[in-house]
Amino acid sequence: MRIPLGQSERLLLFGRNFLKHPRMLGSVIPSSRFLVNRLLAPVDWTRARVIVEYGPGVGTVTTEILRRMAPEAVLVAIETNADFVRFLGRRIQDPRLRLVHGSAADADDVLAGAGLERADYVISCIPYTTMPEVTRDLILRKTHALLRPHGTFLTFQFTRAVLPSLRRLFGIVREEFELRNVMPARLFYCRRDGERRTSSRPVARPAIAGPSPSAARLSDS
């Protein structure tokens, strides 16, 4: 696997696109390593076989997912920005990555087109507060539907505005906060099944298990 993502090139590309599409990116610079680590902390990498990422952007989270996931796992990354798609296509050479130029609102069709039925984890780096409510609700409903039983949806936002929508859909919603990022971010860890409850934790919790191993690109990343 070759991932020679130069920091200066990534920052320039991200900054140019923020000036053109600020509502699509949500932040002027990519996510910090502290936020990325907190976002991915609940993933049980020994069990995750199908992972979907919304808004890979310049690959800040994407490359870390690929670094951690199993050799037989698949990452489907859905990105609407053509500049980011071209950049990632040139820079990441990994057969486990399925890079798709499309919308998270079509995630179910994207997964089916890749010959995959359900996802163990959906990891989202898109800003839900800057999109139309109907689009946000559509993406969240489809996300819930394409997760396996006990599958997990992981996302971060800069406000709590999306929390009521998450509570309506997911059985378990846990909230955390990461100060070491520009801007400080709220993280939401959502389980597809389980008793409906919401809690806040000051620190990352132990890994949330996905399904058994036998089960076979909007961005502010």
Residue type, 96: R
Asked whether the predicted pLDDT for residue 184 surpasses 80, the reply is: yes
Give the model's pLDDT for residue 17: 56
Give the model's pLDDT for residue 13: 58
Band the pLDDT of 210: cuts 50, 70, 90: very low
**Structural domain includes residue 221:** no
Residue range 9-26: average pLDDT? 55
If one compares 150 and 208, the residue with the highest pLDDT of the two is 150
**Structural domain includes residue 214:** no
**Structural domain includes residue 12:** yes
Percentage of residues of the chain with pLDDT beyond 90: 66
CB atoms closer than 10 angstroms to residue 109: 13
**Structural domain includes residue 217:** no
For residue range 52-68, list pLDDT tens digits in order.
999 998 899 999 999 99
For residue range 136-152, list pLDDT tens digits in order.
999 999 999 999 999 99
Residue range 100-122: average pLDDT? 97
Structural domain total, the chain:
1
What 3-state class would DSSP assign to 137? helix
**Domain carrying residue 158:** 7-200
Give the model's pLDDT for residue 125: 93
CB 193, CB 210: distance < 8 Å: no
Band the pLDDT of 161: cuts 50, 70, 90: very high
Asked whether the predicted pLDDT for residue 87 surpasses 60, the reply is: yes
**Structural domain includes residue 210:** no
Residue 16 φ then ψ, to 5°: -60, -45
Q: What is the largest CA-CA distance in the chain?
A: 45
Q: CATH no. for residue 155?
A: 3.40.50.150
Give the model's pLDDT for residue 117: 92
**Structural domain includes residue 213:** no
DSSP string, 190-211: EESSS--EEEE-SSPPPPBP-S
DSSP string, 30-84: PPPHHHHHHHHTTB-TTT--EEEEE--TTSHHHHHHHHHS-TT-EEEEEE--HHH
Cα Rg of the chain (Å, integer): 16
**Structural domain includes residue 99:** yes
Band the pLDDT of 31: cuts 50, 70, 90: confident
* DSSP at 161: T
Q: What are the b/e assignments for 48-64, b being 16+ CB within 10 Å?
A: bbbbbbbbbbbbbbbbb
**Structural domain includes residue 194:** yes
Angle between helices 82-91 and 7-20 (to 10 degrees): 170
Could you tell me the CA-to-CA distances from 77 to 38, 121, 171, 193, 204 in Å, in that order?
19, 12, 25, 24, 24
